[in-house]
Amino acid sequence: MELRKETGMLQILDIEGNFRKELEPDIPEELLLRMYRTMATVRKFEEISMGLQRQGRIGFYIGAAGQEACSVGSTAVLGRDDWIFPAYREPGALLLRGETVLQLFHQLFGNSLDYNKGRQMPNHFNSRKVNVVTPSSPIATQIPHAVGMAMAARIMKRKDVALTFFGDGATSENDFHSGMNFAGVFKAPVIFLCQNNGYAISLPTRRQTAAETLVQKAVAYGIPGERVDGNDILAVYSASARAVERARSGGGPTMIEAITYRLGPHSSSDDPTKYRDKEEVEEWKRKDPIRRMALYLRRKGLMDERSEKKIGDEIDSEIRAAAKKAEGTPRPPVESIFENVYSEMTWNLREEMEETVQRYGAGYTGK
């Protein structure tokens, strides 16, 4: 199928679960169910994590409610060796690739089993074992990193591709433009997926660009673009599959603009009622990507009310057990602070460390 014009928007699955059969992607039943379960897990994970933050048990949280189809639908088309460079609303990418809810909670609590040894702020989820690189809070920095990885794969004559996620606000940053320009010139095998949720924190999209769409920005860099309904997981999957095939076959990069919406606050530090009205939020709730996929699965005969509830109950139990286990895991000991920093610790730091351990004990955690 030919790509739509940049100003159009691909939609396969509507808000009632009806779908266009001629555009429906061929997704194995097992994968469809796993995609749904992952989306539902992300939603429940956010609900519980935001509650933990409000109780002062974790320091910070950034949610993905309403945007789950973007990360799950695009990640589902990748191969095992492909790389993901996330922003901070993509826990679904890690979970779909096999990372555990427990490990995500280890990261939120910054405990001794956290891959980052407690050194990252919450929501900087990453996993070397599933090729998801550590995100960074500064906007758009992951974009040139993804391009660099994609170019490295090509130089090494590998077929790996890179997928990078960013929001609408990132398209106003220098890293977006430099990354897109380099990828366009050198045909880097990278997929740029912009989750346009309408706001860069509180700044509406119309206040940061006069362009009719964000995907039009790809035209200037000679990059094909496609605009999709980001709450339609079938549309996200289809566009991403085309982009991955183009990248892997040597055709270069693609930009996808996924039109979606953040149902909750930008973060646990944000009050969205200050810049958007209740009617807008309610309208987007009707377009909920999880509800749409559930209706689709029912129409396909893959799920019914009973199995949907069973999945929800299983997810709830798994997440609550993982949160409890992670919260009860000790913090990283003080002697771990210089691990992976120096190949050999400097003499003055070694003396300072030995003095600290002698004074407080080897298990000192800073309490």
For the segment 219-254, what is each residue's pLDDT rounded down to a tens digit?
999 999 999 999 999 999 999 999 999 999 999 999
pLDDT at 115 > cutoff 50: yes
> What does the alpha-carbon distance between residue 90 and residue 67 come to, in Å, rounded to a whole number?
9
Catalytic residue flag (residue 61): no
pTM score: 0.94
9 in helix, strand or coil?
coil
Rounded-to-integer distance, Cα 131 and Cα 163, Å: 11
Domain layout of the chain by residue ranges:
29-330, 333-367
Q: Cβ–Cβ contacts within 10 Å for residue 26, how many?
A: 5
For the record, the structure tokens of 232 come out as 């339609």
pLDDT at 3: 38
pLDDT of 53 over the 60 cut: yes
The residue annotated as part of the active site, out of 275, 320, 350, 360, is 275
φ/ψ of residue 157, rounded to 5:
60, 35
Average pLDDT over residues 67-77: 98
Q: Is the pLDDT of residue 268 over 60?
A: yes
Inter-residue contact 92 to 78 (CB < 8 Å) = no
Amino acid (one-letter) located at 58: I
User: What pLDDT does 41 receive?
Assistant: 98
pLDDT at 315 over 90: yes
**Residue whose entry in the numeric block shows the structure tokens 């999880």:** 290
- Note the pLDDT tens digit of each residue in 132-156: 999 999 999 999 999 999 999 999 9
For the chain, strand residue ranges (E) read 83-85, 162-167, 190-196, 199-200, 203-204, 225-229, 254-259
pLDDT of residue 336: 85
- Percent of the chain surpassing pLDDT 90: 88
Give the C-alpha distances (Å, rounded to integers) separating 323 from 15, 33, 344: 33, 24, 35
177 noted as active-site residue: no
Distances, alpha carbon 234 to alpha carbons 41, 48, 78, 289, 292, in Å: 19, 27, 15, 10, 10
**Cα 191–40–309 angle (5° rounding)?**
150
134, 138, 140, 143: CA torsion to nearest 10: -30
Q: Are 335 and 362 in contact (CB under 8 A)?
A: yes
C-alpha atoms less than 13 angstroms from C-alpha of 152 in its C-beta half-sphere: 9
Please list, residue by residue across 63-72, b when 16 or more beta carbons sit within 10 angstroms of its beta carbon and e when fewer do. bbbbbbbbbb
Geometric angle at alpha carbon 72, from 114 and 199, rounded to 5°:
90
Say how many residues make up the chain: 367
Task: Give the amino acid at 320.
Answer: R
Structure tokens at 351: 């003396």
Q: Hunting for tokens 């039943």 — which residue is that?
A: 29
pLDDT mean across residues, the chain: 94
Whose tokens are 């090509």? That residue is: 154
Q: Does the annotation count 275 as an active-site position?
A: yes
d(CA 7, CA 225): 10
pLDDT value for 4: 42
43, 106, 242, 266: the active-site residue: 266
Three-state DSSP at 85 gives strand
CA 9/CA 5 separation, integer angstroms: 8
| Paired strand residues for 258 | 195, 228
Query: Under a CB-based contact definition with an 8 Å cutoff, are residues 70 and 165 in contact?
Result: yes
Find the catalytic residue in 145, 262, 292, 331. Answer: 262
- The C-alpha atoms of residue 69 and residue 310 are separated, in whole angstroms, by 21
DSSP 335: G
Query: For residue 35, which amino acid is it?
Result: M
The CATH homologous superfamily to which domain 29-330 belongs is Thiamin diphosphate (ThDP)-binding fold, Pyr/PP domains (3.40.50.970)
DSSP 344: S
Average pLDDT over residues 99-125: 96
